[in-house]
Amino acid sequence: MEQQRFEFEKVREFGDIIGDTFRFMIQNIKPFVSGFIVFVLPLFLLGTWAMIPLIGPLRDLFIDSSPFSLAMMSISSFLFMIGVLLGSLMLYALVFAIVDAYQDYPEEDLTISILWKYIPNAIGKFLLVGLIFFVGLVLLVSVFSVLPAVFSPLIAAFGIIACLPISIYLFVRFIFTPYIYVREGLPLLDCFRQSAFLVQGDWWWTLLTMIVLSIISSLISYIFVLPATLYAGASSFLSAEAGDILASPSPTAMILYGLSMIGSLFVNAYSILGLVIYYYSQREKKEGTSILERINRIGEGRSNDFENEGEY
């Protein structure tokens, strides 16, 4: 029996967003897994390789107070963070690519070659939006903390506290900007305006959706984290040198830790996909794009009937 095509352009209730996100991901699990292995996993593994000097027998060479050791620890940690950041960025691009390709190629299987058509554009635009978010955050912190510090440290402390709610408000308000920029191809300023328009009047609802999607992703990730956690607890309990597992990790421990991190990263695709589906729901709610398209198609059909009336 052929599966029914997933419809993005529809207004969804909260429960529908949660359930339909699962449904779309399960229906398209093959491109999600294959795309993750090809595009996301290599970047993540490059970052994890940087942590090798900090575990196992090599750890004793670097864990001391010498300048060289501290420098190596800093470099390894920095490269690991870069690998995780690039892997997360690629995961966003992959989800965007799958959603866009699903709509643009309704009759074809989503192969790696098809997804690659969308990946570079998604990465470039997402990087630009992320850079703007980062610069905006730096400016916000500067205005509310650094400048007031000239007058009083107490005022600067209150300024730092004030940055948190303002940052959360702006983050939620512009949460749809990256996908609008990738999918719709609007000028960047218009993407920010469009995101603000879609969130307007539903700010709290949008925040709740983001939180619930993140909680669900975290709960699912425990499926991958639990084996490593149990193994670490058992090893600490049974080992004579409990509490220093990183000093001499077994191959089993390293494999379980690696799988837990990879699995947790993959599960984050659920929350990203949920926000994309929520975006389409908000767009349909505010603009009724699919309804307008159907009306236009009906109008075009009637026009063609009148044009061909003389043939009968």
pLDDT in tens, 215-262: 999 999 888 888 877 877 776 666 544 444 444 556 677 778 778 888
d(CA 118, CA 38): 14
Closest to 98 measured CA to CA, from 276, 279, 221, 263: 276
**Predicted pLDDT at 66:** 57
Rounded Cα distance, 294 and 300, in Å: 10
> Of 148 and 297, which is predicted with more confidence?
148
Instruction: Give pLDDT, residue 59.
Output: 53
- Domains of the chain, by residue range, sit at 14-301
Give tens-digit pLDDT for 74-128.
777 777 788 778 888 899 999 999 999 999 998 888 999 999 999 999 998 988 9
User: What per-residue string of b and e applies to 265-301 under the rule 16 or more CB within 10 Å gives b?
Assistant: bbbbbbbbbbbbbbbbbbbbebeeebeeeeeeeeeee
Q: Tokens standing for 31?
A: 């491109």
Considering just the CA atoms, what is the radius of gyration of the chain in Å? 24
pLDDT(60) > 70: no
Type of residue found at 199: V
Residues 259-272 pLDDT 10s: 888 888 899 999 99
| pLDDT cut 70: percent of the chain above it | 72
Q: What is the pLDDT of residues 3-28, one digit of tens each?
A: 678 999 999 999 999 999 999 999 99
Distance from CA of residue 286 to its chain's centroid? 24
Per-residue pLDDT, 108: 87
Which has more confidence, 131 or 288? 131
The answer to whether residues 278 and 206 touch, using CB atoms and an 8 Å cutoff, is yes
